[in-house]
Amino acid sequence: MREEELLYKAIDGIPIIKEPGSSASINRGSWRLVRPVHHKEKCTKCKICYAYCPDAAIKWTSEGPDIDLKACKGCMICMEECPTGAITQEKES
């Protein structure tokens, strides 16, 4: 085991990504302070939120974006990039 891994194991709640793609199994949603809320009536289906999401937490469907709150860490880049204001934030309860 490498020394860097030992340091991270000592910090509670910090996951170790051991291989590409293994981050998909980590519930990043538990880290959030705010969550994105999608307003379908304002959405033009431009796919900008989908393209900019750094965690691939937004899946694209025929109805538009589908935000996977288990994968979303609450960075709110989707809200910042949405040109129509179709994504807002809500405080995590």
3-state secondary structure labels for all residues of 73-86: CCCCHHHHHCCCCC
| Residue 59: φ, ψ to 5° | -100, 145
pLDDT digits (tens, 9 = 90+) for 50-74: 999 988 899 999 999 999 998 898 9
pTM given for the model: 0.70
Q: How far apart are CA 18 and CA 55, in angstroms?
A: 17
pLDDT tens by residue, 11-49: 566 555 566 555 556 677 677 899 999 999 999 999 999
What's the confidence (pLDDT) of residue 10? Answer: 53
pLDDT, the chain, mean: 82
> Structural domains in the chain?
26-91 (3.30.70.20)
